[in-house]
Structure 1
Amino acid sequence: MAGSPAGGHANQGDVVNKTIAGVGLALLACCTGLHADEVGALDRWNVAVGGYALNLDARLRVDGDLRGHEFDLSGDLGLDRNRDVGLFSLGWRPFERHQFDMSHYRDELSNTRILDRQITVDDETFTIGARLDSRFDNEVYDFTYTWWLQAAPRQAFGLNVGLVGYLIDLDLRAESTASGVVIERSASASVDLPAPKIGVSYRRAFGDGWRFTASGSTFETSVGDIDARVLDARAGIEYYPFSRAGVRLQYSINRINAELDDPDFHGRARLGFSGLQLQLVGRF
């Protein structure tokens, strides 16, 4: 059976993002009626768990001895580009102007469809009309250090440097029939893709438990067998009706464009992760 049309995925993603936005705003509105404690621009510790209405825009090219075809995971393989995934975040500021943050999310996608165009992956050609089983696993880690140039009680501005780690694993298996003969083909590729970044961070506490957060970073580099350009940005609001607990609603964008010469993945990866994030936050 063919996969769902890409347009259906887009509509589903809009619904998911609107749902998360609605739930987040409803939680913020409900909490607003509670007595809110004062919150500063920065925390010593914070831990957050929640969900990410992830929109995945991914195009890959896997070369063998010959150059392969670039293919779209949604348009060509029929993989769902809009998913709800779990999101975990942790922040630690051991000194007044020095902060460490990390976040993590992962997803596993699979689909079966009839190919409507020919693609070549790692010297294996998957022909039009073949029944293709595809699986794509992705995992993203983000580690960031921030040096707060300004660390006032209600406002903070700093420079950040960090590393985004992408773990991707692709597996394709196809079956087609020619002159009554069943032909099976398979291809796979996996890579651990690290990408450094550098940028700026900003925090602003408005009183009554409200806080605005934003950060943006980018970098272009060549590390080992990888040439990559990364963009990472997010902005959101937090509300703390209690001294130690609150809600975070933010929008996040992360993109990487990489040329790879890895033994397990020779080619190109263009990945885009974006969407609304809703988390419950504990602060200390």
Structure 2
Amino acid sequence: MEILMKMKNILFVFLLSVAYWSSYAQTVGDKNPMLTDRFLARAALFVPSRTVQVGASGNISTENTEDIDFDETFGLGGSQNTLNLDFMWRFSKSKLWSVRGQYFRVGAEKESTLDREIEWEDVTYQAGARVKAGYGLSLYRIFFGRTISTGQKHELGGGLGVHGLNTNAFIEGEAFVDDASAGFKRENVSAFLPLPNIGIWYLWAPASKWAFSAEVDWFGIKIGEYSGGLWNLSPGVTFQPFKTIGFSVK
């Protein structure tokens, strides 16, 4: 079995205000705490726009060998609110080296009546059958970076990291095997995909309470016969009215 999921506008795209916590603040004069804090953590409301395509050695109808499109067939596209957690730790004494982490999960499931026959492995779900389908995707990110240039109001850095994508998809309902009724069947597929990435970031903080940021990442992926890359650009702005609490939009 092979699984391929495509999701648009999901990585680091925060569309609503989020709480921002920092600790071990070591503000120097009017320098923004985002440039000086040793540890930063964020909890974000994350709204991804998703498009899901799954190839799992199956096809839609016996006359068409295209892979099962969960978005079109079951209406599992659209957007979803979810929680994003991330942190940054400047672990070196000079604060030039850092490690970053991130986690979020999205998923959906839905019941629908098939308007076309679906074959998955040797199991067939006939047109007119009532079935349930769903998918899930969890992302884990670890990124090691180094500050290249820093000053009173800016920081430029880059680094290497790895994303781990844990994906799964399923279809369940009344099924047929070799034209004979097999009763209720659940077919599923899952995969864990390590995705190496390289990225850079820039932070400009013209005032102690305001900061503007931009991140650029490139991800590489190879799943079976599929391979490719993805560029991600994430601008953002942070307003920090308090010493340890602020608000961001990305």
Tell me the TM-score normalized by structure 1.
0.67
What are the Cα deviations for residues 123-181 of structure 1, in whole angstroms up to 9, with x where unaligned?
4333322211112122111211222111223111122211111111112112269x9x6
Aligned counterpart, 1:94: 91
| Residues 223 and 191 (structure 1), Cα distance of their counterparts in 2 relative to 1, 3 Å cut | closer
**Higher helix content, 1 or 2:** 1
Letter of the structure 2 residue corresponding to residue 130 of structure 1: A
2:35 is aligned with 1:39? no
Mapped contact 1:146–1:159 kept (Cα < 8 A): yes
Q: How many Å apart are 1:226 and its aligned residue? A: 7.7
Structure 1 runs of 4+ with >6 Å offset: 223-226
Secondary structure, counterpart of 1:164 in structure 2: strand
Q: How many Å apart are 1:249 and its aligned residue? A: 1.0
CA distance in 1: counterparts of 2:70 and 2:221, whole angstroms = 25
Aligned counterpart, 1:53: 47
Mapped contact 1:126–1:185 kept (Cα < 8 A): no
| Residues 224 and 116 (structure 1), Cα distance of their counterparts in 2 relative to 1, 3 Å cut | closer
2:211 is aligned with 1:211? yes
2:195 is aligned with 1:198? no
Stretch moving more, 193-202 or 152-161? 152-161
Secondary structure, counterpart of 1:76 in structure 2: helix
Letter of the structure 2 residue corresponding to residue 59 of structure 1: Q
CA RMSD, 1 decimal: 3.2
What are the Cα deviations for residues 181-238 of structure 1, in whole angstroms up to 9, with x where unaligned?
6854432100111100112111111204111111111143659998453433322111
CA distance in 2: counterparts of 1:73 and 1:127, whole angstroms = 16
| Residues 128 and 245 (structure 1), Cα distance of their counterparts in 2 relative to 1, 3 Å cut | same
Aligned counterpart, 2:7: none
- Indicate the structure whose relative CO is greater, using CA pairs within 8 Å and at least 6 residues apart: 1
Mapped contact 1:69–1:119 kept (Cα < 8 A): no
Letter of the structure 2 residue corresponding to residue 58 of structure 1: V
CA distance in 2: counterparts of 1:206 and 1:123, whole angstroms = 62
Mapped contact 1:195–1:228 kept (Cα < 8 A): no
CA distance in 1: counterparts of 2:141 and 2:220, whole angstroms = 17
* Counterpart among 67, 72, 90 of residue 70 in structure 1: 67
CA distance in 2: counterparts of 1:168 and 1:219, whole angstroms = 17
Mapped contact 1:51–1:86 kept (Cα < 8 A): yes
Stretch moving more, 181-190 or 220-229? 220-229
Letter of the structure 1 residue corresponding to residue 72 of structure 2: G
* Counterpart among 71, 82, 85 of residue 82 in structure 2: 85
Q: How many Å apart are 1:47 and its aligned residue? A: 0.9
CA distance in 1: counterparts of 2:120 and 2:212, whole angstroms = 45
What are the Cα deviations for residues 230-254 of structure 1, in whole angstroms up to 9, with x where unaligned?
433322111110122101110xxxx
Mapped contact 1:195–1:230 kept (Cα < 8 A): no
Mapped contact 1:119–1:127 kept (Cα < 8 A): yes
**Higher strand content, 1 or 2:** 1
Letter of the structure 2 residue corresponding to residue 220 of structure 1: G
Aligned counterpart, 1:188: 188
What are the Cα deviations for residues 12-42 of structure 1, in whole angstroms up to 9, with x where unaligned?
xxxxx99x54xx39x9xxxxxxxxx751552
Aligned counterpart, 1:121: 120
Letter of the structure 1 residue corresponding to residue 241 of structure 2: P
Aligned counterpart, 1:172: 171
Secondary structure, counterpart of 1:74 in structure 2: helix
Matched residues, percent identical?
Answer: 19
CA distance in 2: counterparts of 1:123 and 1:68, whole angstroms = 14
CA distance in 2: counterparts of 1:221 and 1:75, whole angstroms = 24
Mapped contact 1:237–1:248 kept (Cα < 8 A): yes
| Residues 73 and 195 (structure 1), Cα distance of their counterparts in 2 relative to 1, 3 Å cut | same
